[in-house]
Structure 1
Amino acid sequence: MASATAHGSDPAVGASVPQLGVELPTFKGTPGWEFTPIDKLDLAALPAAPAGTGTAGVALLAPEGGVGPSEEEPGTSDPSALIVAPLRVALERHAEVVGRHFGTVVRPSYFATVNADQWTDGTLVYVPRNVKVEAPIVITTVQDRPGTSLHHRTLVVLEEGAEAEVWDQVASSHDEEALVNGVVELVVGDNATLRYFGAQTVNEKTWVFGSQRAVLGKDAELDWTTLGFGGSNGKVFLETTLAGRGSTAKVTGAYATRGRQHIDYDTLQEHAAADTVSDLAFRGLVSGRSTAVWRGMIKVDPGAQRTDAFQEARNLLIGNKAHADAIPGLEILADDVRCTHAAAIAQIDPEQIFYLRSRGLERPVAERLVVEGFLGAVVERYAEGPIRDTLAGAIDARLATVLG
């Protein structure tokens, strides 16, 4: 496997907090921030700094045969050449691609604005029309400076009929307080197919914020997976807009928390065109005194007839002090749709434990089997093969940490 760290400029650590003209969200004072306390966040104490250059020992996702960014000029004048390059290099050499999409996909927000002002690291993935990329594209970004903020970006653009698989992960190389603020913009052209896997495994003292959005063209397909295993506190917005008729999006999320971690996902499935399909499923394991929030909205715009949308969030609690909130929502402005949602929060079923123990298993083993079965439902959304095996390995590694 050949992967690479996302590159950027290397400004001196110590840049001041920008004057943005927008205010930091306040806990319970800003809509959408009712469950995530960020009143102790001091951005001025966490100056911006670039990512590290090494990935050894931090990568969670390692698909076989992966390729990473390169600063070499790809394909020279060949318009059919795949581009996987550091974003700052791409801004200089491929402005005709980057300029059309950079910063136009994610919705305005405080943390997206901070990122736009202070980002140091990022990657462009550009797949030209009708090009099918066989090897997985791997991006690894490492927060390696304690007491700093890392603002990173990923821009993936698939032109009409293109196909690609992108693995995008951010991790820590230290165990001290820090901040990670990421922006992900996915543009899936007409009849294109993107498989995008995002994961964060930063240390459990790091703030995590994210602004992520995909826009799909006509008959486009998106398979989006997100894994949230690290972090101390924060919030991630994950949005999918089905802008083209006949487009399809499957979104799968998994998280596993322990100690005093707090994780917050705010998802949106926006159906902006007719005959579109979305399927979102999140599963979370919440243990110790940790907390988790999932808030999901299915929005059907006027004229988006024959929409078929589904969303679910299920949380499994371990211990009496773990807590989770699951808040599904519907906003339907068309009259020929099928939209459903489900949410569940529960402790481990004692009858399942009793059954397994009656077969001779010790309690810790029995609990581990129940948890594996619960999160295994995420893996089962994929066909047998390298993708499924990589995801199963990532989940197993996290369970070994959470359950001991």
Structure 2
Amino acid sequence: MASAAAARGTEPSWLSDRRRRAAEAAAQLPLPDSKTPGWEFTDLSGLDFERYELPAVDAAAAASPIPLFDALPEGLELACVDGQWRAHGGEAPGGALLLPLEEAIERIPSVVERNLGSIVAVDDPFVARNELAWRHGAVVYVPEGVRVSLPLVVRAGLCGEHLQLPWRTLIVLERGAQAEVFEEYLGPLGEAGEGVDALLNAVVEIVVGEGASLTYVCGQRLSERSWGFATQRARVARDGRLDWVVLGFGGANGKFRTETQLVGENAWARVTGAYAGRARQHLDFDTTQEHAAPHTTSDLAFRGILSDRATAVWRGMIRVDPGAQRTDAFQESRNLLLSRNAHADAIPGLEIEANDVRCTHAAAVAQIDREQLFYLRAHGVPEAAARRLVIEGFLQELVERFPEGEVHDTLSAALERRLVELLGS
């Protein structure tokens, strides 16, 4: 497979060289199995990449799926459905850009060549396949010192039966820049078990420059018959700040990897994750907080709710490199099971190679607290309403990590809609 630009012979030589290396890697790197570290809980025996076709260049796109983040104020939007562009982004005040990746290669070639592939290496079968096959993607570029006041929104829809979307996102904030980026991967809405059988294979690279500040909210609501994979990695420079929100509601199976690397002193990252599964969905999240410089801080909190026979696994790692003294890192994963048939695994981990650090973790999997239900029912709250109040309180802790504003409201609204799907109105 090759990109549309490559087929026309218009790709720059540096990208064509990368495609060739990716083809070699893809041929040599097998897909993971149950013996592959990190994949013990996610069964890929039914995955066949060859079953899924890239959208035809001239194909008519399906109707645009309903957005997950539909209450944002007006901003710049870039949207692609089944390989067809619906919105092309543009330029924000101050010169910040939100562009299709193929357009960014022509408009800001040095930025793309310097940064694309600098964060995520082609040493993984999913990344190699993405690098080889991507036709579409998004670039967010915020020049030095520019502060973007409006939201930058990226929407990638996958609505066709047996289609695959190898999607690529590159976000670059230069020194002192500031922005809020909302990215979502969408499929057609439907009842549990409905939708299309499709495949998302995304790679996201985030570069946060010195003193820059990025809020990145990424959610997936794919069809609940689809495969969903994403390799997402951020690098935060000295005095940089990254506030990252991860939402996982759709998909039948797959894995999302979220990795932050703090490479400069006083770099800071906060990762907030929420997932909610039903029917026989399997949700898999793999997170890494890597501290590669002294005086860095990371804070990760995930919450999951599972109903019916849904399953989930969260595997987290705090890694402190040699010399990264005065690291302050925390991670936790808490899961609420709404059914006796639902199941969750929470696996925190530490790899510490410095001796002056503060690193802690916590994990829990539990049913709804019967004492809380009893208390509410004793005060006249009907059982269904009492269950909902307990669940809402469990998730509200995530929302309260943010002050009133766009991120707070977006996260709250997305969680509320997913609860309606799981519990009814």
TM over 0.5: yes
Aligned to 1:95: 109
Shift of the 134–38 alpha-carbon distance from structure 1 to 2, 3 Å rule, reads: same
Identify the match of residue 64 of structure 1 among 64, 73, 97. 73
Aligned to 1:4: none
Aligned to 1:32: 38
Shift of the 73–58 alpha-carbon distance from structure 1 to 2, 3 Å rule, reads: closer
Deviations 1:295-323 (A, max 9, x none): 00000000000000000000000111100
Deviation at 1:49, TM superposition (A): 2.5
Deviations 1:60-118 (A, max 9, x none): 1131122124758859xx9x611111000111221111011112212431111111111
Aligned to 1:135: 150
Deviation at 1:348, TM superposition (A): 0.2
Aligned to 1:5: none
Instruction: Give the TM-score of the pair, scaled to structure 2.
Output: 0.88
For residues 329 and 160 of structure 1, what CA distance do their matches in structure 2 show?
A: 32
Opposite residue 135 of structure 1, the aligned amino acid is L
User: Does residue 1:204 correspond to 2:224, yes or no?
Assistant: yes
SS in structure 1 at match of 2:77: coil
For residues 264 and 150 of structure 1, what CA distance do their matches in structure 2 show?
A: 19
Aligned to 1:226: 246
C-alpha contact (below 8 Å) 2:64/2:157 kept by paired residues: no
Opposite residue 137 of structure 1, the aligned amino acid is L
For residues 119 and 4 of structure 2, what CA distance do their matches in structure 1 show?
A: 23
For residues 42 and 167 of structure 1, what CA distance do their matches in structure 2 show?
A: 30
C-alpha contact (below 8 Å) 2:76/2:90 kept by paired residues: no
Identify the match of residue 137 of structure 2 among 110, 113, 122. 122
Identify the match of residue 266 of structure 1 among 269, 272, 286. 286
Deviation at 1:48, TM superposition (A): 2.3
Structure 2 gap ranges (5+): 8-21, 79-86, 190-194
Task: State the Cα RMSD in Å.
Answer: 2.2
For residues 334 and 128 of structure 2, what CA distance do their matches in structure 1 show?
A: 32
C-alpha contact (below 8 Å) 1:71/1:89 kept by paired residues: no
Aligned to 1:3: none
Instruction: Give the TM-score of the pair, scaled to structure 1.
Output: 0.92
User: Does residue 1:381 correspond to 2:401, yes or no?
Assistant: yes
User: Does residue 1:41 correspond to 2:50, yes or no?
Assistant: no
Shift of the 92–346 alpha-carbon distance from structure 1 to 2, 3 Å rule, reads: same
Deviations 1:227-281 (A, max 9, x none): 0000000011110000011100000000000000001101000000000000000
Aligned to 2:353: 333
Deviations 1:334-354 (A, max 9, x none): 011000000000000111111
Aligned to 2:376: 356
For residues 188 and 6 of structure 2, what CA distance do their matches in structure 1 show?
A: 20
Deviation at 1:385, TM superposition (A): 2.1
Opposite residue 83 of structure 1, the aligned amino acid is L
- Runs of 4+ aligned residues of structure 1 deviating over 3 Å after TM superposition are 8-12, 50-57, 69-75
For residues 193 and 38 of structure 1, what CA distance do their matches in structure 2 show?
A: 37
For residues 378 and 4 of structure 2, what CA distance do their matches in structure 1 show?
A: 60
Identity of aligned residues (%): 48
For residues 166 and 26 of structure 1, what CA distance do their matches in structure 2 show?
A: 31
SS in structure 1 at match of 2:55: coil
Deviation at 1:53, TM superposition (A): 5.6
For residues 296 and 50 of structure 1, what CA distance do their matches in structure 2 show?
A: 38
Shift of the 222–50 alpha-carbon distance from structure 1 to 2, 3 Å rule, reads: farther
Structure 1 gap ranges (5+): 1-7
SS in structure 2 at match of 1:68: strand
The residue correspondences of 1:150-229 to structure 2 (distance < 5 A) are 150-173=165-188, 175-229=195-249
SS in structure 2 at match of 1:397: helix
